[in-house]
Homo-oligomer: A and B are copies of this chain.
Amino acid sequence: MAMPPVALGIDVGGTKILGALVDDEGTVLQQQVVPTPKEDEPLLHAIVGVARGLLDGAASDLPVGLGFPGLITRDGVARYGPNISLREFPLRARLEAELGRAVLVDNDATAATWAEFVIGAGREARADMLMFTLGTGVGGGLVIGGRIVRGSQGFAGELGHLIIDVDGASGPSGIPGELEAYSAGNAIGRMANHAFLQGHFIGTLLEGPVAPTGEQVTWGALQGVEPAIEILARAGRYLGIAAAGLVNCLDPELIVVGGGAGAAGDLVLDPARASLADHVLGPTHRDPVPVVAAGLGPEAGAIGAAFLAAEEGRD
């Protein structure tokens, strides 16, 4: 017999909203996906629609957790995100009023990090794990001392905004020299475009008038196209440099890498592992820190949000 759900988790992404009823082992019992509206009120109502559909028939006290892409205050106000239009939107309060129950609202990558720690690539880690999510941008999350890190205002986990180049150009968020400007899908596309303009063959799909995407570069690299492989390696080296700085500060057991660019696998992770080893303090005097691909699929955010909501309910 199927386990009952422990919580409803909802992951709000840039293009779609994914809701999932999750059991206590992280199995998705039922899910629903709808497109993400761009404006505040339609977005709220889309989330409410997904929640109501999945809560229909569920226990009236089933915990609900939501992962949202951007800066979320600790009391659930969606404050800012480079890729979302919401500003100072009281997401938790509005959802709780609509659904008539408590809702936990967290950053999406924070939620995905927790899912990876509990049942994914980090399930063997005891207490300390970092996760980078490589997508259009770079996000992430941290588990320290066995607890998810939310920070004082709720804004922790923006690992894409580590500064790795004092003389660097601005990324999409406007921060000069940040990791996101070097290792995100957008950055990979820019590097590929630059290489193409210099006359390097990147792959037939890529030779259009439009800058190639990170996915297209990954496709080229998986076909064995050398300049595409070198571009992914460069993105990986930058990732390893940022990871090394955090390893020196936080000394985690494990680093997990997820997100779309995860498809490139070791084409990104091997160079990241090498530059990590080159930049940690006392490399011969410490256990190496494994860099591994995420273990969960696109439901990670929803599963993590569900787990976090279920634990909150138990506090």
Interface residues of chain A, those whose CB is within 8 Å of chain B, are 71, 79-81, 87, 126-128, 140, 142, 144-145, 147, 149-159, 161-168, 173, 175-178, 182, 238, 241-242, 244-246, 248-253, 278-282, 285-287
Q: Which residues of B contact A167 (CB under 8 A)?
A: 165
Q: CA separation between A21 and B241, bound complex, in Å?
A: 42
Query: Known: A166-B164, A245-B245. Is A281-B155 also a contact (CB below 8 A)?
Result: yes
| Cβ-defined contact, A145 with B147, below 8 A | yes
Query: Known: A163-B164, A251-B153. Is A285-B128 also a contact (CB below 8 A)?
Result: no
Q: CA separation between A249 and B247, bound complex, in Å?
A: 12
Query: Known: A145-B149, A151-B128. Is A177-B251 also a contact (CB below 8 A)?
Result: no
Main secondary structure of the interface of A (DSSP, over half): loop
| Cβ-defined contact, A241 with B163, below 8 A | yes
Instruction: Tell me how many chains of this kind the complex includes.
Output: 2
A225 to chain B, nearest CB (A): 24
| Cβ-defined contact, A286 with B155, below 8 A | yes
| Cβ-defined contact, A285 with B248, below 8 A | no
Query: Known: A152-B128, A253-B152, A279-B163. Is A145-B142 also a contact (CB below 8 A)?
Result: no
| Cβ-defined contact, A149 with B250, below 8 A | yes
Q: Which residues of B contact A287 (CB under 8 A)?
A: 153
Name the one of B127, B155, B242, B249 contacting A157, with C-beta atoms under 8 angstroms. B249
Name the one of B163, B165, B173, B282 contacting A242, with C-beta atoms under 8 angstroms. B163
A199 to chain B, nearest CB (A): 24
| Cβ-defined contact, A177 with B241, below 8 A | yes
A294 to chain B, nearest CB (A): 18
| Cβ-defined contact, B282 with A80, below 8 A | yes
The 9 closest A-B pairs by CB, nearest first: A151-B251, A161-B248, A80-B285, A162-B245, A80-B282, A156-B251, A158-B248, A155-B251, A152-B253
Q: CA separation between A163 and B252, bound complex, in Å?
A: 17
Q: CA separation between A164 and B280, bound complex, in Å?
A: 13
| Cβ-defined contact, A241 with B166, below 8 A | yes
Q: Which residues of B contact A285 (CB under 8 A)?
A: 71, 79-80, 87
